[in-house]
Amino acid sequence: PRMPTEQLDPFVLIKDEVSEVTDRLRSMVVAEVPELTSAAGYFFRAGAEGKRTCPTVLLLMASAISMGIADGLENKPRARHMHLAEITEMIHISSLIHDDVLDDADTRRGMDSLNFKVGKKFAVLAGDFLLFRAFSAAVSLDNTEVVSLLATAVNNLVTGELMQMSITPAQRCSMDYYLQKTYYKTAALISNSCKAIAVLAEQTTEVQALAYQYGRHLGIVTAPILFAMEEFPEVHEIVEQGFDDPLNVKTALKYLSKSQGIERTRSLAAEHAKLAASAIDDLLDSEDQVVLNSRQALKDLAQKFMRRTK
Ligand code: FPP
Ligand code: MG
Ligand code: MG
């Protein structure tokens, strides 16, 4: 039985626990030096936290794969899952802080970027500190597989960023290259962390794989212009050159509007949302209402993400 839509809003369903995670994040980023504490805590201040998609997805996933009875005792697994949500959010923020340094960005989340606020040297160190803090918390979970999944995610983030920086004209035109880079940059952290949720819950490898697949499909988005290129070979040269030149952007947009690029992107995004949902549907049946609501919320979230596709 479906509950009223309002109660199933993924972000509402899990609001209190996400606030708890947010509170704890503030206390976790305290460093020896006050300047480092305030720089590392910049995106954890009240009003600066953003939508907190990572913790929301991870806590919903934890509930979605929950076995009910086993989770009862002292609610220990839940506390561990919340720690993983904190760790993932710290890695995420660390990557955004470093990204803004690399991109020389002045803004993030509609406010000053950290590098704009405190300079890039401080920002780099704040990002490093957050990464340290995330991994020291991960070590405390006392599960080497979880630490290894998080390490993989960071490696993928760095690799994705490097793939973007070092891209050759031929690679710009490759859908495979684009999808690999996109997976690394936008989906690897959430997919590996979703799997880590299942590992912490001592779930079977099947459930671990489904959790991973959900995260992977949730994170992937595609480039309409690469589809347009298949229809209009002229676009090839423009894509090869990249989009630093505003004239290239203008020409590409013109071809894009004539092409099926947008529709094909939408349908691919819809496909990913469907695959994310089917990973959830493939979980073992449950009669627990919390489990069922969490699964529905994860599927709703995949739909929401799909509509956000540019
Ligand atoms: C945003 O991309 C950037 C990322 C999602 C990942 C950035 C990764 C690194 C800088 C590697 C270092 C990682 C860690 C964990 C320290 P974007 O610039 O395309 O998008 P945006 O600026 O509009 O968000
Ligand atoms: Mg950027
Ligand atoms: Mg960037």
Q: How far apart are CA 254 and CA 115, in angstroms?
A: 35
Residue whose token pair is 């991973």: 212
DSSP β-bridge partners for residue 108? 111
CA neighbor of 239 nearest in space, from 250, 226, 230:
226
Q: Tell me if 262 CB under 6 Å of ligand 1.
A: no
Q: Which of 116, 32, 51, 38 is nearest to 89 (CA)?
A: 51
Q: Is there an atom of ligand 1 within 6 Å of 131 CB?
A: yes
CB distance 92 to ligand 1 below 6 Å: no
Query: For residue 295, what are its two tokens?
Result: 């699964």
* Residue 306 pLDDT level (bands cut at 50, 70, 90): confident
Which residue's CA is minimally distant from atom 24 of ligand 1?
96
116 Cα to the center of ligand 2, angstroms? 13
Write out pLDDT tens, residues 130-139: 999 999 999 9
Please tell me the number of the ligand nearest to residue 183's CA.
1
Given a cut of 80, whether residue 4 has pLDDT beyond it is: no
Three-state DSSP state, 120: helix
**Threshold 0.90, pTM exceeds:** yes
Q: Measuring CA to CA, how many Å separate 206 from each of 65, 68, 250, 292? A: 11, 18, 47, 19
Q: Are 44 and 18 a contacting pair, CB within 8 Å?
A: no
| Per-residue pLDDT at 77 | 86
Give the dihedral sign, CA 52/271/5/7: negative
- Please, which pLDDT band fits residue 7 given cuts at 50, 70 and 90? low
Query: Are the C-beta atoms of residues 60 and 10 closer than 8 Å to each other?
Result: yes
Q: What pLDDT shows up at residue 69? A: 52
Region 25-46 average pLDDT: 95
Confidence band for 221, pLDDT divided at 50, 70 and 90: confident
- HSE value, Cβ hemisphere, 13 Å, CA-based, for 9: 5
CA of 104 to the centre of ligand 3 (A): 9
pLDDT digits (tens, 9 = 90+) for 71-126: 444 567 899 999 999 999 999 999 999 999 999 999 999 999 999 999 999 999 99
Q: Is the CB of 158 under 6 A from ligand 1?
A: yes
**Nearest atom, ligand 1, residue 101 CA:** 10
